[in-house]
């Protein structure tokens, strides 16, 4: 039983070290940095939650004494949690796996920064750093593991269509595919009414014509 446990720990350490080798060298990520759009925030958080699966101290180690840097995002609660000894207080701010991991095993892992894989996610697909995708009328670049999107207002906004169709306005809106991907500004410029008349046309005067019958 104990041997099995040890093997588990060793294999976990190997995976851990391997993962760090893979991901650590290029990175210095601030997990609290602002994402530009809400869905990317959700996607990013969900992705990180999927990585951690409740493993916090287990993912980056335990710390002796008080170490305010021994902290990670507690994604389930949208808060921070600690893996240092100091977190064991009356108002514990320990990570959920602090007791089981930091106390359960004598060989503590050295504390390292949490890691995230390179690149960005979108609809479950992985994109390399620097990838550019189009999202409706905005383009988004994967930079520092976040999508940074331009912030144009689009001519077709799904949220607005939704809003109109949920309300009782006596009419419904729909997605006009031909306008998808255009900005509101382009709509104003190219799709509204007619072009202004030319100066020559504007400078014309009216002509009065009298007709005489003979
Ligand atoms: C994004 O989230 C913030 C805070 O949760 C909210 O105030 C804002 O309206 C959201 N924006 C969109 C476009 O949903
Ligand atoms: C609207 O139409 C475009 C083009 O056909 C499509 O790509 C987009 O997903 C549609 N959006 C919604 C919210 O249905």
pLDDT in tens, 25-35: 333 444 444 44
CA of 175 to the centre of ligand 2 (A): 6
Rounded to an integer, what distance in angstroms lies between the CA atom of residue 108 and that of residue 120? Answer: 31
- Which pLDDT tens digit goes with each residue over 43-84? 555 555 555 567 788 877 888 888 888 888 887 777 888 988
Co-location of 90 and 64 in the same domain: yes
Task: Note whether residue 169 is domain-resident.
Answer: yes
Task: Note whether residue 189 is domain-resident.
Answer: yes
**Which pTM value belongs to this model?**
0.39
Task: Note whether residue 10 is domain-resident.
Answer: no
Residue the block writes with tokens 């101290």:
57
Please state, in angstroms and as integers, the Cα–Cα distance from residue 107 to each residue in 55, 61, 86, 160, following that order.
17, 10, 19, 55
pLDDT in the model for residue 27:
32
Task: Note whether residue 143 is domain-resident.
Answer: yes
Rounded to an integer, what distance in angstroms lies between the CA atom of residue 196 and that of residue 205? Answer: 17
Task: Note whether residue 78 is domain-resident.
Answer: yes
Structure tokens at 70: 């021994």
| Average pLDDT along the chain | 76
Q: Which domain holds residue 186?
A: 158-196
Total domain count for the chain? 3
Co-location of 144 and 171 in the same domain: no
pLDDT tier at 96 (50, 70, 90 boundaries)? confident
> Considering all CA atoms of the chain, what is the largest pairwise distance in Å, rounded to the nearest integer?
124
Nearest CA-CA partner of 179 in 142, 137, 145: 137
pLDDT in the model for residue 33:
41
CA of 120 to the centre of ligand 2 (A): 23
CA of 157 to the centre of ligand 2 (A): 10
The residue contributing the CA closest to ligand 2 atom 4 is 177
- Does the CB atom of residue 177 touch ligand 2 within 6 A? yes
Phi first, then psi: what are they for 101, rounded to 5°? -90, -50
Beta bridge partners of 140: 133, 149
């Amino acid at each position: 039983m104990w041997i099995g446990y040890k093997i588990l720990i060793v294999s976990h350490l190997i995976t851990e070290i391997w993962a760090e080798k893979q991901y650590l060298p290029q990175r210095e990520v601030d997990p609290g940095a602002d994402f530009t759009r809400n869905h990317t925030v959700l996607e990013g958080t969900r992705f990180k939650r999927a990585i951690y699966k409740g493993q916090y101290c287990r993912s980056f180690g335990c710390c002796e004494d008080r170490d305010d840097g021994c902290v990670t995002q507690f994604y389930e609660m949208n808060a921070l949690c600690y893996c240092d000894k100091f977190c064991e207080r009356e108002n514990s701010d320990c990570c959920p796996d602090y007791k089981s991991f930091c106390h359960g095993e004598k060989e503590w892992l050295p504390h390292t920064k949490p890691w995230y894989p390179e690149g960005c996610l979108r609809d479950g697909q992985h994109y390399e750093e620097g990838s550019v995708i189009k999202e409706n009328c905005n383009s988004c670049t994967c930079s520092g593991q976040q999508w940074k999107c331009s912030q144009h207002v689009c001519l077709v906004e799904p949220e607005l269509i939704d809003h109109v169709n949920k309300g009782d306005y006596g009419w419904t809106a729909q997605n006009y595919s031909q306008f998808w991907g255009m900005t509101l500004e382009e709509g104003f410029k190219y799709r509204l009414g007619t072009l202004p008349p030319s100066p020559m046309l504007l400078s014309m005067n009216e002509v009065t014509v009298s007709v005489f019958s003979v």
